[in-house]
């Protein structure tokens, strides 16, 4: 009797342990930090393959889920800031250097060799972000208007970034003092073959079929939308704020629905993330993660309300394109993984 009830107890206790492990509180697990590199580009191919890019010509890669990282300084580009990266597998990735010259490089051997696939020395050229349509080869990089123009700068690839061509955005114009932020490579996202782009500065708007104003902080050089994400081409979110006042937690997030004929229905959430946020990602329809220099927030209700998860600052967060893993990267060489149940 005694033994069997003891066993029962042990059994129940083990069940409890397993259950509590299954609902482990989400948290940030730091994997790398302490190097003088600011990461703003992040591309998570799968739960195992992660690439990030940043300042001082730096690219890092892990092929074992973040246990080990290979640090690469791209030869000849030691002073460049690679603000965005798109990785296709463990060997293939494209990185974007922002300004004068704007440059895009591609590797097909895991970062050992980099080929220059695009370069523009035009005065005032400034690339902000790249986005690709999965599997199709189509990718777009956007940039701020060149001096003396008011149309966004755009280059397009149809072969996963091996060749690029400048393509005019036609009649699409930006307002005086409106531009794009290059804070996380995510102010551009593809819906099929069409980009959604968000702007900031003196005014902050979203461009799909047409421009729509965003109810987000704007009016100054450090204000506006920084990142846009969509879920199944139906639900969307924009985050941003004022990076010069990064703890203000009002008007730094906007939700939208994508209806028929590319019609966007835009609204404010019930509450905002706890500060300026430069990157946002859907973990599922209802769960979202957002990060910025003043911390990391989680939402469990589609972005309508937010819980501060950490005051650790990050520039960019991404979920595995094929998988469940979620990573963050930021200043001071920081790379982290989201752990627990989310
Ligand atoms: C682009 O890369 C994807 C893998 O992400 C691959 O499936 C596709 O065939 C490639 N397309 C081209 C045109 O290279």
CATH code: domain of residue 120: 2.130.10.10
Residue 50 is classified by DSSP as E
Residue bearing the CA closest to ligand 1, atom 9 = 135
Residue 19 counted as domain residue? no
Ligand 1 pocket, residue 34 CB under 6 Å: no
Residue 153 counted as domain residue? yes
How many structural domains is the chain composed of? Answer: 1
Q: Would you say 49 and 93 are in contact if contact means Cβ atoms under 8 Å apart?
A: no
Reduced to 3 states, what is the DSSP secondary structure of residue 193?
Answer: coil
Residue 108 counted as domain residue? yes
Domain range for 121 is 28-339
- Quote the radius of gyration of the chain (alpha carbons, Å): 21
CA distance 267 to 284: 20
Ligand 1 pocket, residue 160 CB under 6 Å: yes
Residue 21 counted as domain residue? no
Per-residue pLDDT of the chain (342 residues; tens, 9 = 90+): 455 566 666 666 666 666 665 668 899 999 999 999 999 999 999 999 999 999 999 999 999 999 999 999 999 999 999 999 999 999 999 999 999 899 999 999 999 999 999 999 999 999 999 999 999 999 999 999 998 899 999 999 999 999 999 999 988 999 999 999 999 999 999 999 999 999 999 999 999 999 999 999 999 999 999 999 999 999 999 999 999 999 999 999 999 999 999 999 999 999 999 999 999 999 999 999 999 999 999 999 999 999 999 999 999 999 999 999 999 999 999 999 999 988
Ligand 1 pocket, residue 157 CB under 6 Å: no
Ligand 1 pocket, residue 159 CB under 6 Å: yes
Residue 279 counted as domain residue? yes
The CA-based dihedral angle spanning residues 171, 176, 181, 186, taken in that order and rounded to the nearest 10 degrees: -30
Residue bearing the CA closest to ligand 1, atom 7 = 135
Nearest ligand 1 atom to the CA of 158 is 13
Residue bearing the CA closest to ligand 1, atom 2 = 135
Residue 22 counted as domain residue? no
Residue 335 counted as domain residue? yes
Ligand 1 pocket, residue 137 CB under 6 Å: yes
Residue bearing the CA closest to ligand 1, atom 8 = 135
CA distance 56 to 131: 23
φ, ψ for residue 214, nearest 5 deg: -110, 130
Task: Write down the pTM of the prediction.
Answer: 0.93
Residue 23 counted as domain residue? no
């Amino acid at each position: 009797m005694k033994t069997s009830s003891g066993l029962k107890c042990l059994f129940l206790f083990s069940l409890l342990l397993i259950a509590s492990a299954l609902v482990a509180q989400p948290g940030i697990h730091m994997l790398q930090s302490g190097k003088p590199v600011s990461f703003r580009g992040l591309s998570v191919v799968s739960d195992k393959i992660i690439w990030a890019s940043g300042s001082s010509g730096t690219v890092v890669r892990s092929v074992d889920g973040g246990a080990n990282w290979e640090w690469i300084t791209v030869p000849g580009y030691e002073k460049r800031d690679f603000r965005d990266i798109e990785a296709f597998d463990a060997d293939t990735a494209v990185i974007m250097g922002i300004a004068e010259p704007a440059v895009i490089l591609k590797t097909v051997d895991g970062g050992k060799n980099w080929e220059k696939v695009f370069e523009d020395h035009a005065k005032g050229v400034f690339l902000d972000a790249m986005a690709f349509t999965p599997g199709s080869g189509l990718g777009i990089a956007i940039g701020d208007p060149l001096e003396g123009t008011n149309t966004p700068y755009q280059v397009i690839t149809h072969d996963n970034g091996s060749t690029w061509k400048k393509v005019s955005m036609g009649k699409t114009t930006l307002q005086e003092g409106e531009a794009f932020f290059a804070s996380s490579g995510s102010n551009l996202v593809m819906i099929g073959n069409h980009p959604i782009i968000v702007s900031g500065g003196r005014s902050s708007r979203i461009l799909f079929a047409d421009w729509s104003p965003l109810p987000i902080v704007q009016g100054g050089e450090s204000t506006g939308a920084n990142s846009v994400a969509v879920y199944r081409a139906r639900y969307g979110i924009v985050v941003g704020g004022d990076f010069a006042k990064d703890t203000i937690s009002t008007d730094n997030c906007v939700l939208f629905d994508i209806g028929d004929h590319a019609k966007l229905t835009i609204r404010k959430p019930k509450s905002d993330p706890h500060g300026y946020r430069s990157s946002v990602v859907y973990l599922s329809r209802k769960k979202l993660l957002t990060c910025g220099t003043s911390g990391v927030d989680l939402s469990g209700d589609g972005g309508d309300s937010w819980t501060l998860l950490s005051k650790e600052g990050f520039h960019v967060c991404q979920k595995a394109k094929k998988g469940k893993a979620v990573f963050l990267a930021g200043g001071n060489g920081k790379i982290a993984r989201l752990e627990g149940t989310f």
